[in-house]
Amino acid sequence: MRAKDQQRATDLLFDAIGQIEDRFVAEAATPYVRAGKGLRLRRSLILALTLSLVLVSSLGLLIAQQVTDKEDHAVEMETGDILNDEATGTVGSLSDRLSALRAETASLRVPREELDLFSGKAQVIWKFSDESGYRVKQVSRSEQTELTRMMTRDPGRSLSTTESADPGELEGIWIALGDGTVISPCLRQAPGNTAYGTLFSYEPELEPSVAFADTLCGIIS
């Protein structure tokens, strides 16, 4: 093949590679997580297993709820009852409670570029609107399972379309499952509210339950 023809052929091939499917281009733009030794599962399989686990857990809990009493475990909060006014029955929002822990969780702040949603470890991530960094608390698998179980079992109070939760200082809170999957306790659990590889902005749909807030604050403080 003459050099000129070879160059033309190469150009054609190069141009054709430029028209590959968007999903391949997008896949290569995301960070690559190398599986550990002896555990080479495709990321899609891990995601499917995680979502299946959440679904099975929620179904099992729904069944159990019909024959057992509801008993939410409130983790004692080291911050005391500042936001739990038992006399009036009012309880501060999740945003208020996280704000109360700002000083205590200051050491958990990291810049965005240090966030790793594919670390293989579950994390609770939250951000205040007046800060540029994110607060990250790595949680154990059992803690993550407990939190997602609570989100499914008692998602909290729905916010009507005409009502918007006072976000307070909290810009967003997410739970990263470690395989790229990201959910938020302020959104209903649904495929459309599940992100992959990114912390998404959102309009809150839910005010998480008191029990969830108790557990979450107990874990991160």
Partner 1 sequence: MEDYQIVDLYWARSEYAIRETDQKYGRMLNGISYSLLASREDAEECVNDTYLTAWQRMPEDRPAFLGAYLSKIIRCLSVDRFRASHRQKRGGMGQVLEELTECIPGGESPGEAYENRELSRVINDFLEGLEEEKRRMFVRRYFYSDSIADVAERMKVSQAKVKTTLYRIRGDLKRRLEEERICL
111 binds partner 1 (CB under 8 A): no
Backbone angles phi, psi at 32, to 5 degrees: -100, 125
Q: Cβ-count burial of 87 within 10 angstroms (0-12 exposed, 13-18 middle, 19+ buried)?
A: exposed
22 binds partner 1 (CB under 8 A): yes
The smaller minimum CB distance to partner 1, of residues 28 and 63, is found at 28
CB-based contact 118:178 (threshold 8 Å): yes
Contact flags string 34-73 toward partner 1, x per CB under 8 A? x-------xx------------------------------
Of 11-19, 70-78, 107-115, 203-211, the window that binds partner 1 (rule: CB under 8 A) is 11-19
Residue whose structure tokens are 């059992």: 142
114 binds partner 1 (CB under 8 A): no
Please report how close the Cβ of residue 76 comes to partner 1 at its closest, in angstroms: 38
32 binds partner 1 (CB under 8 A): yes
The smaller minimum CB distance to partner 1, of residues 6 and 158, is found at 6
In order, the DSSP letters of 125-158 are EEEETT-SSEEEEE--HHHHHHHHHHHHH---EE
The smaller minimum CB distance to partner 1, of residues 13 and 74, is found at 13
6 binds partner 1 (CB under 8 A): yes
Please report how close the Cβ of residue 36 comes to partner 1 at its closest, in angstroms: 12
Q: Which spans of this chain sit near partner 1 (rule: CB under 8 A)?
A: 1, 5-29, 31-32, 34, 42-43, 198, 200-201
